A and B are shown apart, each in its own frame.
Chain A
């Protein structure tokens, strides 16, 4: 879970998806996750996954890395799949596919939407304490990740983490994490002072408009609405499942088109977010 890299992708991207408003992308994510949950068709699910992959390419993000991050839930989904084994691959593919596709939707959201914008929308719908806690968590996370990185580096340089000495490593890692807790505590005490000094009195007042929209919103909203409609059509319309292959074909073509355009942009020297 490379939080620093994900944040950098979100903040430094300049694609159409990056420019779409946080509100539209959150709504689109909601529609897509709903589509993933509703569908019972492996090929429709695969089509959705490929459309998300096309979105990653359109956003000029490194496709393999993003999909690898989104593949994490597959491990847990596999446990459910094995327990549902009936001799056919269909259920396991559905279960694992749903987990991975839903995760891919969220990862595409978080890699194209800087946290401050996302936060501005979320705080409208969350209790004050929770949204304040989210803000502080996010802000502190980067400071702590840096601290953790320094700690691990020190441990490695000083022989605290060495290959195949598992107990030794566990002991030193535990001490390092203990130190992280202590420093985190100091940070929280300092943060408490800062909040007090800067006027905090029970609620962090926000200001960024959460309702801002841009012309780039059409793409994510339109695409997600189309996908959800298709999923509902395939699920509930009699005989509609005959056409799931065309939906899959359309998704494959959209991914190929995105890859082609991206390749041409690359050849033209146009920027891409990478790391």
Chain B
């Protein structure tokens, strides 16, 4: 598999002198992979994302995205990356939703007819066509998230970078967003890098988890299933495992043999199987 993004021994020094060293495990993203950056506050998740999209320049170490140094040559790869920052409100620039989604294509010189088609296509995909002529600052948080995402995806990038996309959304909106990201990956084979605290949603749409410790060190690169089977590791980094993982660990602690379930579907199937087996034993 092709590696499209790589950060090697990156060191970042903040203006107040605080340092982040992304040592330990090398950070890589392969084409089509869905990666999440997980870690406590102060572990440098957002800073790493900013390095990947060229907004920050490392004090040492290297960053390569699509083969180039993004801090030096971002214009060469800009069209291939879609970015959604933590607060979508700060990202929406234009006075209407339609104009905001059209912002990138117009600025890249895409002909107007093609731009309109792209805008309508992406709006239809996100089911926000009714919002196209609305003024952004009157939209709800969930709607603004969708608009920001639509704006990031209108040019059909190969890599989507999202910084804390679930922040400020209600439960339903969070679920919707997680489903959207899964669907996006399934339909467009887009690579995704997300930083988030929403540990319960990670199994829904993630292939690889990078666990960052305070100070930026990457301590683990793992699948969600393997990582969430190690609650002690998560606890050491001020994180709790997803509710379902905790439930099945508690069941195992009580002597009930059950594999870890990552999603509600898996958990329901496992519990149904356990109940059936218990029923059969009882009948016997």
On whether A and B touch (CB less than 8 Å), the answer reads yes
Where the two chains meet, the residues of A that have a C-beta atom closer than 8 Å to any C-beta of B are: 7-8, 11, 114-116, 119, 135-136, 138-139, 142-143, 187, 190-191, 193-201, 203-208
Q: How far is the CB of B11 from chain A (nearest CB, A)?
A: 21
Q: How far is the CB of A130 from chain B (nearest CB, A)?
A: 16
**With A191-B93, A194-B85, A197-B83 given, can you name 18 additional A-B contacts, CB distance below 8 Å?**
A116-B94, A116-B95, A116-B99, A138-B95, A139-B94, A139-B95, A190-B90, A193-B85, A194-B93, A195-B93, A198-B151, A199-B78, A199-B79, A200-B107, A201-B107, A205-B107, A207-B102, A208-B96
Tell me the residues in window 83-107 of chain B with beta carbons closer than 8 Å to chain A beta carbons: 83, 85, 89-96, 99, 102-104, 106-107
Residues of B within 8 A of A199 (CB): 78-79, 103-104, 107-108
Is B138 an interface residue, CB under 8 A from the partner?
yes
Q: A197-B78, A197-B83, A198-B107 are in contact. Are A207 and B99 (CB under 8 A)?
A: yes
Tally A-B pairs: CB < 8 A: 79
Residues of B within 8 A of A195 (CB): 93
Is B74 an interface residue, CB under 8 A from the partner?
yes
A-B residue pairs in contact (CB < 8 Å), sample of 22: A116-B94, A116-B96, A135-B93, A138-B95, A139-B92, A139-B137, A143-B137, A190-B85, A191-B93, A193-B55, A194-B85, A197-B55, A197-B81, A198-B103, A198-B104, A199-B104, A201-B75, A203-B107, A204-B93, A205-B107, A206-B99, A207-B115
A114 to B98, CA, bound (A): 15
Cβ-defined contact, B135 with A116, below 8 A: yes
Q: A116-B135, A194-B85, A198-B151 are in contact. Are A206 and B106 (CB under 8 A)?
A: yes
Partner of B53, one of A138, A139, A197, A208: A197
A142 to B139, CA, bound (A): 13
Nearest B-chain residue to A10, judged by Cβ: B135
Cβ-defined contact, A142 with B137, below 8 A: yes
Is B59 an interface residue, CB under 8 A from the partner?
no
Is B250 an interface residue, CB under 8 A from the partner?
no
Residues of A within 8 A of B78 (CB): 197, 199
A-B residue pairs, 4 tightest by C-beta: A116-B95, A205-B106, A199-B107, A199-B104
Q: How far is the CB of A160 from chain B (nearest CB, A)?
A: 26
A37 to B278, CA, bound (A): 91
Q: How far is the CB of B29 from chain A (nearest CB, A)?
A: 18
A207 to B78, CA, bound (A): 22
Nearest A-chain residue to B134, judged by Cβ: A11
Q: Secondary structure of the A side of the interface?
A: helix
Q: How far is the CB of B126 from chain A (nearest CB, A)?
A: 17
Is B269 an interface residue, CB under 8 A from the partner?
no
Cβ-defined contact, B93 with A207, below 8 A: no
Is B112 an interface residue, CB under 8 A from the partner?
yes
Cβ-defined contact, B137 with A136, below 8 A: no
Residues of A within 8 A of B107 (CB): 198-201, 203-205
Residues of A within 8 A of B96 (CB): 116, 208
Hey, what's the 0/1 contact readout for B134-152 against A, CB within 8 Å counting as 1? 0101100000000000010
Cβ-defined contact, A114 with B151, below 8 A: no
Residues of A within 8 A of B55 (CB): 193, 196-197
Residues of B within 8 A of A206 (CB): 99, 106
Q: A143-B89, A194-B91 are in contact. Are A208 and B104 (CB under 8 A)?
A: no
Q: How far is the CB of A171 from chain B (nearest CB, A)?
A: 27
Q: A190-B85, A207-B99, A207-B112 are in contact. Are A136 and B93 (CB under 8 A)?
A: yes
Q: How far is the CB of A10 from chain B (nearest CB, A)?
A: 9
Residues of A within 8 A of B83 (CB): 197
Most buried by B among A116, A142, A201: A116
Q: How far is the CB of B89 from chain A (nearest CB, A)?
A: 6
Partner of B93, one of A7, A114, A119, A139: A139
Residues of B within 8 A of A198 (CB): 93, 103-104, 107, 151
